[in-house]
Structure 1
Amino acid sequence: MSATVEHALPRGVTSTNRLRQVLLAMLVGTRPMLVGYWLVMLFLFLTIGVWYLIATGGLDRSMWDWGTQSPKYFSMAIGITITPAYLSLLIAQGVTRRMLSIASGIYLTGAAVATAALWVLMYQGERVLYSAQGWSQTMQNPHLFHDTSQAGLIFTEFFLLILSHEAAGWLLGITFCRFGFWRGLLMLPLSLIPAAVTEFLLIAQWLADVLTSIGYQRPPLAVAVPSILVVSALGWYVGYLLLRPMALKPAKS
């Protein structure tokens, strides 16, 4: 931030401090959603799911792998929430749209890291449990990894899927708020580009069997990973450009 703008702020308030406050506001505001989601996943898949399968004859597949679709769609919902939840509130407090966009990018990236790390930890915990009981940890869905000991590939897959779906959610939230329901609906294919590109480049989880059946092959990770990061970053930047002239009140449908 320029010296002129720095001096225009109240004493003791810098752009860094303001950014930290915006990030804290986002964390506090979305924490119930994030923590609630993680607790529900843990309860459903590691308590109800495991005990149900034991009661019906034991385990021969990964229970945690049943939930692999949920983090990316939940993360998309978080991305959608950012603009309608925080735009008017933070702009009224003197936060610029640029700072809101930067804070959103930092926050969503951090959320992607945390959620991907959680998935790694849960796969490892499940692997220890299954090994101790002599159960087979067969995956339900195709993945970048072939074994849950490949923690790096687990993290890479989920981080990229979550980050790109957050970027798509960020675009969805902005387009529907700025242009209204019907025009936002028309822009839906464009908003979903980050998520769609990632699905086609990774060929993991539910879409993998469909793409493989038509002969489509996954590109090398050396190509796929940077491509996904670039597309996700472009999705964030396009969202910022759309946000700059956006009115505080949502457009009428």
Structure 2
Amino acid sequence: MSATTRPLFPARPVTRQGPVLRTAVSVLAWFGQVALWYWGIVLVVVVALPLLVDAFGEVGTSTIWFARQSGVWFPFSVLIGVATTYPPVHVASGMTRRSYVRGTLLAVVAIAAAFALLMAGGLMAERAWYGAMGWDWSPQDQGWFDPDVTFGSLLVAYLATFVVAYVSGLLVGTVYAAAGGWWGTLTLPLTAGPSLLMTVLVGNSNDWVPFSELFGSTGEGTPLALVLTVAAVLTLTMAAAFWLLATRRSIAPRRG
């Protein structure tokens, strides 16, 4: 009989995450804690405000519609901080700048998808709740965000807006960190401007956008195909600029 015995439950081989995935998971885990507070506050306001208005007046306007702007600018500002403070820690951990760029871009796309899903789903749930309560429901701005808008259209529009805004936040923070305050401020029309442009396009109710007739304009708002085209061009351009700046950024060695 052999002296060597096999374990009843052999240990599984340890699988290590690659640096890109590790970076993405790290950013998502940290941002997730902030996002929980954000969505907790949104939920309280969205539920409490209509009940308060109903007690003293007439409910007729979507509350979560106003959260659209916070869904753009709050993560945008948080990601500026990520872009300025995270790279030194990343490099000090023995990982490359390229893995940082790929990981953070992967993370912001995932964050944008989650926020778009929650925002679009919340708007649909709010509309159903208003109907059950006998309240009128409509967004503050019209355009193609009319009361009959579908979940799919909302999801795509939110996703396009949020992806542009969050990549823009990374680019803004990177320019400030790499080139200093003067250049960071002077280039804001180029680095932060795309976020503002997307919010204007999505909230447009008069269809004043040039070339919109080429994308099937109905005269009531920016065609969704045009929104997606602009978002794709802006995202790719900013991601390329982020890649070039972040991979060439000078990072002082950590001391102590």
1:65 to partner: Cα distance: 1.6
Matched, 1:236 2:239: yes
On the 8 A contact 1:144/1:157 being kept in 2, the answer is: no
TM alignment of 1:82-93, pairs within 5 A: 82-93=82-93
CA contact (8 A) 1:148 1:154 kept: no
Query: Which amino acid counterpart does residue 231 of structure 1 have in structure 2?
Result: L
Q: 2:99 maps to which residue?
A: 99
Number of aligned residue pairs: 231
Q: 1 or 2, which has the higher helix percentage? A: 1
CA contact (8 A) 2:138 2:146 kept: no
Describe the SS at the equivalent of 1:124.
helix
Alignment partners' CA distance in 2, 1:249 and 1:37: 33
Number of the residue aligned with 2:115: 115
Q: What aligned pairs does 1:1-253 form with structure 2 within 5 A after superposition?
A: 17-47=18-48, 49-147=49-147, 150-199=150-199, 203-205=201-203, 208=204, 212=206, 215-216=208-209, 219=212, 220=215, 221-249=224-252
Q: Would you say the 8 A contact 1:82–1:104 is kept in 2? A: no
Amino acid at match of 1:234: T
Greater Rg by CA: 2
Superposition deviation, residue 161 in structure 1: 1.1
Q: TM-score, normalised by structure 2?
A: 0.81
Q: Indicate how the Cα distance of structure 1 residues 187 and 99 shifts in structure 2: closer, same or farther if over 3 A, else same.
A: same
RMSD of Structure 2 on Structure 1 (CA)? 2.4
Indicate the percent of aligned positions where both proteins have the same amino acid. 20
SS at match of 2:202: coil
Cα distance, 1:148 vs structure 2: 5.2
Q: Distance in 1 between matches of 2:149 and 2:248?
A: 48
Cα drift, residue 92 of structure 1: 0.7
Could you tell me which runs of 5 or more consecutive residues in structure 2 were left unpaired when the two chains were aligned.
1-13, 216-223
Pairwise CA distance, 1:63: 2.0
Q: Is the 8 A contact 2:165 2:195 kept in 1?
A: yes
Flag the 1:45–1:152 CA change in 2: closer, same or farther, 3 A.
same
Q: 1: CA distance between counterparts of 2:47 and 2:31?
A: 24
Residue 116 of structure 1 and its aligned partner are, at CA, apart by 0.5
Q: State how far apart, in whole Å, the 2-side matches of 1:133 and 1:199 are.
A: 30
